[in-house]
Structure 1
Amino acid sequence: MTQLEELLADWIPRQRWFAGKGAPIDTLRVEGDHPLLGGEPGLRVLVVAIGQRGTVSRYQVLLGLRPAGTLPEELAHAAIGVCDLGFGEPRAVYDAAHDPELTELLLERLAEGPGTPPAAGGGEPVRFRRLPGATVRTGLRSLVLKGEQSNTSLVYGEDYVLKAFRRLWPGVNPDLALTAALAGSPYVARPYAWIETDISTGTRADADGTAGAGGTGGRPPTTSTTLAMLQEYMRSATDGWVLAATSVRDLYATPELPPGEAGGDFAGEAERLGAATAAVHRALARELPTDVLTPAALRELAGAMMDRLHLATSEVPELHPYVGVLRTAYEAFARVDEPLPIQRVHGDYHLGQVVRTDSGWVLLDFEGEPATPVADRQRPSSPLRDVAGMLRSFDYAARYQLVGSSRAPELAPAARAWAQRNREAFSAGYAFGGGVDPEKHQTVLRAFEYDKAVYEVLYEAHHRPSWLRIPLDSIAALAA
């Protein structure tokens, strides 16, 4: 490894957005090094290929460079280290996403970029592009949003948010593809521009540390990937999870009252959110290809759900009492004998992916699950998958505040009543807004809900064991 790669091998595993935690790094190589700004300070875009357990994952690092000993105090938290980069004297290298002096350049280049559709590769190593007709205002100072885990978002003034995708996959990121398809919709934040480059499509880590192409000889092929996208910043918006959690807290203050009579009832908002979700699904079906899942393909999907159940039960013994109920639901899903319409959907839909503005609900983050390859996230699915994700989110919002609470037995009935009321309101709003009526497709919806809950069981067992009862109790409630 070079000095820089040694520093990155120590720094990257400590970042929240690194997806390979828990496994040792076998190889690390700077696969792409693209200078954007020379001089002092300097700016480079790095594509870092990391080999773990025989496979390669790629990450984006915005690398800032300054002479050693000159890193400002306000950037100390972003330091990666000091190394020799061939300038004749050591350079301090750091995460440039936190340096407004450098990130201003990204906004300027996006403002200058051509208004063209996503490229298929080639041309400049790093390409700045705008959506046709979009204009970008420059001269705005950036600030990194806190709390994100998978990516890094920079807010420019009160106008824009630039989401830098940390883990890179071959292909156009679904967040860009779907948001661009929905441009002009009142239910999404307006997209303006994006940054792209080319990366290797290899996924195998060879013994010498190079990224292999799965057995093909020579240099692996490359394809375009999305580095970042610029959208409207919803400055007056409130996170849907925050609104729901506030409603639940209000209910817990008067648990003797039904949710509809307690202060801060959320059902009206849940119904409006359902209608907004249906409107987005209708728009995606108009703008992007649709298909129909045949009974044979549906049985294959049910088999994949069963496989996930077997994996989860082998790792989480607490799931065993519910295996019979889950298997029965998946078997019923496999027997559905009518074609199931499929289309592009959000893919990772929950209350944390929506915000309430002065004019209504707005859906965000159409990226899907960042740990899943883009090719898989681009596949169409049933809109009921998104519906199931939001219904699961209502259960979480109702139950998570009871974790570790001495009042949990007392408040559990209120939690169940709140979740049920808002599940029904969302489903009614979704049907009223032109979506598939969830009440008329319970077999399909329940299979998607169970599948999501099984995923949650695995996640909580690995990351938040104290929350494991949330999906387990939800499975029990669905089975009742």
Structure 2
Amino acid sequence: MSEDNQIDGRLDFKYESSWEELLENERFNRELCNDILQPYILKQRWYGGKASALKYLEIIDSFPIEDQNDRFYGVVLEVNFQEAFVQNYFLPIAFITDQSVVGDKIIARLRLNGQEGFLVDALLLESFRKQIFLKILEGEKYRYKEIAYRRGRSNTIAGYESSRLMGVEQSNTSIVYNETCILKIFRRVYVDENPDYEISKYLTMKGFFKNTPKYLGSITLKFSDKNVITLGLMQELVPNKGDAWEYFTHYLKGVFKELSDQKPKLETLRPVKYLEQLAVTDVSSAILAWCPLGFFEDVSNLAMRTAQMHIGLGQERINTAFTPQPFGNDYSVWLKNRLIYQFENRINLVENNLHKLDGLQLELANEFLSNKKVIRKQLLDFDEDKLKSERLRIHGDYHLGQVLVHERDFYIIDFEGEPESTIRDRKVKQPPIKDVAGMFRSFNYAIYATIFNNHEEYDYELNELFEIAEVLYGNIVGVFLRTYIQEVQQANLNIGYIKEIEFLLQYCLLEKAVYELGYELNARPRWAIIPFKGISNILNQQKYE
């Protein structure tokens, strides 16, 4: 980049083009990719390629988003990495002359036909947010070539009142409209329908699952004759006091404080049998003395909502994207190939990070490595001939952070699937028990995170807290399982008999814990102790069955 492109240390580019003609300017397109957007996207929270080396950017599609007053552009970028893979991102852009509207959140300074201004993310502008909202309300009237705005049948919103960006940006950007609905703009996009859009629409229109935000509309890009890209999903805004992770970890902190104050003898806290089903009334009085009955009632209610979600996803008989399927050899081959590849990746990751670990974390890491043959054998020990249940479209990334809490009820959100998986893999039908296993691992995380973050405050040794954790976790699992199994079986959802359920649950728990290990070692190594401990507990519990 030449010094001519720098003013006061900020990017400055000059073009003999108007804003309306700018994307037809070859030099602008080249510099937009090479000089303007490369440094910009690296700083964005929604950019998911920070762990890889960016090779080059390319615009694979662009289109105007306009009304009688304003013109914006939608740009779909292909990010090519040195490691020979690509990711696609969506960025709506705008040209403004008043920087005060966005503060320091500019992409670059532009001079277009001598007019000075700024290139910015269009989502920062209320005029853009209002325009796309109104186009969704108008529906097909605002089809522009390959771009389609659709209004859901359950959308009863009359008009535009207000908009604001929601909280801290993560992998997507969400806009709250009229304080009644939310439009999620997908930043990382795929040449396929986004599973969040597919499942949200299905559960609203056909699955009739009430405890998820209603589908209200969408924005899609027809990328080719047979492929679409989902750019936006509009849903109702569910009033809430935060997610279930915040809710239950806050609860657990109080539970462990009460436990520490009472200091019961550990021998009075008897563990339940592994995967034993419990009614809420079956929880022992010794545990209820320091963990309130309301806690287990909430666990049971969350299990019921989970079951109802699966019942909604499992009743389709016409739409092949949602019809349940039996297990078969194709699925087993897909599953084993995927999991063994993932497992070998985790082994390498652990071996390469051993020098960073110490104490209990190092001890558990070495235990994991010494058990690698046992774990590999368990992952390969998947025999579809013994399974009589059916596979469904599932949530796929189900944990406490994907559930909103409102007046002690639970609303399930974010059906995009595992971030590490390809878009095709996220749509593979899987045993609904995998979602249950994901929630169990999340409760396990919540318990151990409470211990690791606060154990100095509790009047117990760490190994004693671990013992208590397993007793509490066993009761949570038991209560959740009892409610979930009763609910799905009453609805005739085929999840198999108890031995099959238990086999799938153990298999999926191990799969989930191995998956978590990769995330933690890459993103927050201090937390890797939780999946290490989870894997250790899963293997040790199975020894004593």
When normalised by structure 1's length, the TM-score is 0.86
Contact 2:209 2:308 in 1 (8 A): no
Deviation at 1:243, TM superposition (A): 1.1
Paired with 2:154 and 2:454, the residues of 1 have a C-alpha distance of 53
**In structure 2, which of residues 321, 330, 340 is the aligned counterpart of residue 306 of structure 1?**
340
Partner of 1:397: 446
2:325 aligns with one of 273, 286, 291:
291
Q: Are 1:250 and 2:304 matched, yes or no?
A: no
| Alignment correspondent of 1:229 | 233
| Aligned 1:347-386 pairs, distance under 5 A | 347-358=396-407, 360-386=409-435
- Structure 1 equivalent of residue 18 of structure 2: none
Equivalent position of 1:210 in the other structure: none
Residue 100 (structure 1) aligned to one of 123, 126, 142: 126
- Using the alignment, how far apart are the partners of 1:87 and 1:102 within structure 2? 23
1:31 and 1:259, CA in 2 relative to 1: closer, same or farther beyond 3 A?
farther
CA distance in 1: counterparts of 2:253 and 2:232, whole angstroms: 37
In structure 2, do the counterparts of structure 1 residues 439 and 82 end up closer, same or farther at CA, with 3 Å as the change threshold? farther
In the aligned structure 2, how far is the partner of 1:286 from the partner of 1:87?
A: 59
SS of the counterpart of 1:333?
Answer: coil
Equivalent pair of 1:329/1:443 in contact (CA under 8 Å): no
CA distance change for structure 1 residues 66 and 196 in 2, over 3 Å: closer, same or farther? same
State whether residues 7 and 81 of structure 1, in contact with CA within 8 Å, keep that contact through their aligned partners in structure 2.
Answer: yes
Determine if contact 2:94/2:119 at 8 Å carries over to the other structure: yes
Q: Which sits farther off after the overlay, 223-232 or 254-263?
A: 254-263
**Matches of 2:64 and 2:394 in 1, distance apart?**
36
Give deviations 1:150-208, integer Å, cap 9, x for gaps: 111111132001111111101111111111111142121111100011337xxxxxxxx
Please report how far the alpha carbon of residue 29 of structure 1 lies from its aligned counterpart in structure 2 after TM superposition.
2.0
SS where residue 398 of structure 1 aligns? helix
2:58 to 29, 32, 37: 29
Whole-Å Cα distance in 2 between the matches of residues 466 and 418 of structure 1? 23
Q: Whole-Å Cα distance in 2 between the matches of residues 478 and 437 of structure 1?
A: 22
Matches of 2:152 and 2:408 in 1, distance apart? 24
Question: Does 1:260 pair with 2:288?
Answer: yes
Unaligned runs of 5+ in 2: 1-28, 265-285, 317-321, 352-364, 490-494, 541-545
Contact 1:136 1:192 in 2 (8 A): no
Structure 1 residues 314, 387: CA separation in 2 closer, same or farther (over 3 Å shift)? same
Which residues of 2 match residues 104-183 of structure 1 at below 5 A? 104-114=130-140, 124-132=145-153, 134-183=155-204
Deviating above 4 A after TM superposition, structure 1's stretches of 4 or more consecutive aligned residues are: 38-42
Report the secondary structure of 1:390's partner residue: helix
SS at match of 1:444: helix
The alignment yields a C-alpha RMSD, in angstroms, of 2.6
Q: 1:61 corresponds to which residue?
A: 91
Task: Output one character per residue of 1:299-327: Cα deviation in whole Å (capped at 9) or x when no partner.
Answer: 65234323322221122132303324423
**Equivalents in 1 of 2:336, 2:240: separation in Å?**
42
- Tell me the amino acid that sits aligned with residue 50 of structure 2: K
Q: Which residue in the other structure is 1:217 paired with?
A: none
Q: 1:264-279 alignment to 2 at 5 Å?
A: 265-279=294-308
Alignment-derived partner of residue 538 in structure 2? 478
Deviation at 1:348, TM superposition (A): 0.7
TM-score, normalised with respect to structure 2: 0.77
CA contact 1:115–1:130 (8 Å) conserved in 2: no
C-alpha distance 428-181 of structure 1, shift in aligned 2 (>3 A): same
**2:361 paired residue number:** none
Q: Which residue of 2 aligns with 1:187?
A: 211
Amino acid at match of 1:246: H
Give the number of equivalent residue pairs. 451
More helix by share: 2
TM-superposed deviation, 1:403:
3.3
- Asked if structure 2 preserves the Cα contact closer than 8 Å seen for 1:96 and 1:102, the reply is yes
**Which secondary structure does the structure 2 equivalent of 1:197 belong to?**
strand
